[in-house]
Amino acid sequence: MTEFNADSMHRLAKMALDSGEATSPEEAVALFSRYRLRIHLGQGWATTLAGQACFLTVLNTAVRAFLGGVEVYGDLSYELNVPLYQGRSAQVVAEELGAEVSNSAASGLPTLVLGAAPEGTPPAFCVQLSWDHWRFEIAPAVAGGGLACVDDNPLAGIGAAALGVNEAFMHVRGDLAEAGHRSVGMSLWNPLALADWRNDAHKGPELAYLPKSLWLVGLGHLGQAYAWTLGLLPYPANGRPHLVLQDFDKAAKSNLSTCLLLWAADLLKPKVRALASRLEAAGFTTALVERRFGLGHRVMVEEPTTALFGVDNVVARRDLDTAEFSLVVETGLGSGYRDFRSIRLHTFPGPRRPSEIWTAESAAQASVELNDTYKKLADERQDICGMTLLASRAVATPFVGALAAVLALSEVMRPLHGGLVHAALDVQMKSLRHRTGAAPTAHQGLQTAFVQAEKRLSGPVPTRSSRSVLRAQHAAQDTRNHFCL
């Protein structure tokens, strides 16, 4: 029997224990091992970096949530141009990230579509992902239309990916009857635009400027999503950002279910070092801070003055009062099986200090209440402490972190393009109609240092070695029906 504990339990499968749906960790993982997903790559999916970022984010988040496997079908002949995977074959990366490459055009699996939709009758769940400028959308593939997928802003591609994987997960779980049968989207340029978010007034300008340096505080679920998002932005080869990476923890098995840049080979390694090696391989420069964030934090000369905060700790959040950052974007996520899709964001400086938002009383640790499932497990395994610790851990998944990351990076990048910031923003990922927040204002602090985004040719060309593969695929496809059954 596999030994499941707080450091090894899959953080999304844990929801089956919290809800009482499963009676043991083994049963919860077995349940989630039935969930599968298909990614259909139609013509045009790779012609923008936003499309490539969308594909990579769908893939990386889905393999950590759909434990039964992720299948990829379509044109994988392109070389990727995003910094994290520069010059790598899409097919090789798909296999390395844990997907199965399929040669069959027909499938009954829940399907997410990038690029042109499959021909013929689609499966029951077949959702198309689209993006344009700072906007992104998911909609039933049979509906056609969607956004133009032309302007190259990877933030929008990542946002579409996060919504798509979430929609598919709600479908396989039966969490929302309308999942896969609705259009959902938003604008990162104006996240509070609700009914009219598709209006051109909210599409935002062409992406031209990127943060030159940032301080990432906490390298768990959110910190990894921040780094992943930065690694997909159009940084020039000689202008990759400098990141200060701060965390004190080591990678545990449970982190593999939530952290987009951790793999099995990283287990028991300090997170800062595992992440630094991955980013440095992509041309980033890093400085490592292997201690807790705390009272009296100081920023030295030439260190980043803009921070992305991803620590789920009230005391640490209160200590932002004394931190000498000119701009902080702090993000928090829901932790229960009912609210793990909830995202709350704060930007500082703002109308209230961190210590006014998170009071001293709120820093007191709440006692953990065990449901009947955990009580039974504690009795059976004679381990009340272990089951209490497991019960205290949050339900979490990286497709929520990915959406939170693009919202947070947008608060940093919007002012670089003449836009505004939000002191507070609440997003309910299950129903984006319910997002709320403070009226946006101009950022009053020191401007984040920036570099110019690299202008890319639209439409990457397959490598010579991959053209023969592409021709063979097309020849094979001519002999098959292009149905997604």
Which residues are bridge partners to 330 per DSSP?
Answer: 309, 346
Nearest to 243 by CA among 292, 192, 297, 283: 283
Of 54, 149, 259, 385, catalytic: 385
Torsions phi, psi for 456 (to 5 deg): -115, 150
Nearest to 313 by CA among 297, 298, 335: 335
Which residues are bridge partners to 136 per DSSP?
Answer: 131, 186
Run of H or E including 332: strand 327-333
Burial of 103 per CB tally in 10 Å (0-12, 13-18, 19+) = exposed
Farthest-apart Cα atoms in the chain, separation = 68
How far is the C-alpha of 159 from the C-alpha of 407, rounded, in Å? 9
Beta strand ranges found along 88-199 (DSSP E): 100-101, 111-114, 126-132, 135-140, 184-187
* Residues 220/228/338/307 CA torsion (nearest 10 deg): 60
Contact 101, 86 (CB under 8 A): no
Run of H or E including 286: strand 285-289
How far is the C-alpha of 383 from the C-alpha of 109, rounded, in Å? 40
Contact 355, 321 (CB under 8 A): yes
Task: Pick left, alpha or beta for residue 75 (phi over 0 → left; psi -120 to 50 → alpha; otherwise beta).
Answer: beta
Neighbours of 270 (CB within 10 A): 18
Neighbours of 151 (CB within 10 A): 20
How far is the C-alpha of 413 from the C-alpha of 403, rounded, in Å? 15
Burial of 351 per CB tally in 10 Å (0-12, 13-18, 19+) = exposed
Per the annotation, the verdict on 259 as an active-site residue is: no
Nearest to 48 by CA among 458, 461, 473: 458
Q: What are the CA-CA distances from residue 430 to residues 167, 252, 349, 472 (Å)?
A: 8, 28, 29, 41
Catalytic residues: 385
